[in-house]
Amino acid sequence: MSDEVFRAIGDPTRRIILDELAARDGMTLFELCTRLLTGHGSTLTRQAVSQHLAVLESAGLVRTERAGRTKLHHLDTSPLRSLLDRWLIPGQETP
């Protein structure tokens, strides 16, 4: 799982998508594309953004929910917390 998380956050576009979801959770693909265009000057197609979201979802960083015909994307930080807990356990000394 950690390999997928590192791969997912290794791409600058995916980090921007995560930033946007952190700023405003529960966006549709259209809303994300609009924010990428207006806030970052991105010219990515909807298909490209959708592929980035699929990588983020597979890493567990984004979860989706259906609301009728709409699909909402939500940030899930639990995989990042798991990675931090892996190396930054309180009270444990480094060798």
Helix (H) or strand (E) run with residue 47 in it? helix 46-58
Q: What is the pLDDT of residues 45-90, one digit of tens each?
A: 999 999 999 999 999 999 999 989 999 999 999 998 887 777 776 6
Q: What is the pLDDT of residues 2-37, one digit of tens each?
A: 899 999 999 999 999 999 999 999 999 999 999 999
Distances (CA, A) of 4 to 33, 47, 71, 88: 23, 21, 23, 20
Q: What is the pLDDT of residue 91?
A: 58
